[in-house]
Amino acid sequence: MVRTTILFLGSFFLLDARAQMVQQCCGTQNSTYLWGLPAASHTQCLYLPADLTGLLSGDIERLYWRYGNVSEDVGNSFTDLTIRLGQTTQTTFTNGNQFFTGLDTVLTRSSWVIQPGIEGDWFSIDLDTLFAYDSTKTLIVDVAWLTSTTNMGCLGGANNDQKLYSADNSSPTGNASSISLQDIGFDLELGTSIAEGQMPEALLWPVPAEDVLEVRLSPAPAHPGIWRVHDALGKPVLTGRYAQGTDRFAVNVAGLTKGLYFLEFQDDPGGMRTERFSVH
């Protein structure tokens, strides 16, 4: 039997609780063609609106990627790192191999270290400059660095003509042969996304005999949406949807290990609210 305790301190946001507000996840293919292989010191990836969950517009302040199964236990170190972001209405690259130009530089580092991690977990980097993201357009993520110490891998799914790489950071064209497009997540600055004040209040009740967490929304939500359970490190462990007008549903917590968790609600227009609970 799983015992749950509700830690009700009012609805609030924490860094880890809103990790990957928007994300593409969760592929199982490992690729070093982004954060490690010298042959791919410059990569550009396209993420279409249809690729992403938790979709909403706002200013991107933080990016996430997922550790793969190559050198994740040692991490990686880089010199002269630059990350640029942009948007387009295109769904693939011009002529299949031309890098997009005119992107916004959102981060520069003379050196940067990815700490060792565990396959499937996320690592993040906070941007120097916010990027205004329109959720109706394709997101362009451009990463370039000069040197790396290991060929570290990241997890992702199939590359459907949405990724280019090159060993020459100044080349206008890239190679499209990488079979994997890395998973990605990002957070939006709270002041620019839809506020939680537009969301119904969420009340949680544990039902230990049934290993479920009963959720009641008041008033009943005006829009359908998704719910996610994150662990204390921000890793999503459960997810599902709720319907418009549904004022209660149950979350099966039987498979969760002991610890602190966050239950996040996000309606389709982008309103968000988070509650926390513990399993013991």
Average model confidence (pLDDT) for the chain?
85
Beta strands 259-267; 225-231: pairing state: antiparallel
The 10s digit of each residue's pLDDT in 139-154 is 999 999 999 999 999 9
Pick the CATH number of 4-16+194-279 from 3.90.79.10, 3.30.450.20, 2.60.40.10, 2.60.40.3080: 2.60.40.3080
The dotted CATH code for 22-188 is 2.60.120
Q: What pLDDT was estimated at residue 197? A: 45
Query: Are the beta carbons of 124 and 117 closer than 8 angstroms?
Result: no
Please give the Cα distance from 228 to 125 (Å, whole number). 22
Sign of CA dihedral 61, 160, 37, 156: positive
Please give the Cα distance from 65 to 194 (Å, whole number). 24
> Residue 21: pLDDT above 60?
yes
* Model confidence, pTM: 0.68
More confident residue, 203 or 179: 179
Please give the Cα distance from 17 to 60 (Å, whole number). 16
> Residue 13: pLDDT above 50?
no
What ranges do the domains of the chain cover?
Answer: 4-16+194-279, 22-188
More confident residue, 35 or 236: 35
Q: What pLDDT was estimated at residue 141? A: 99
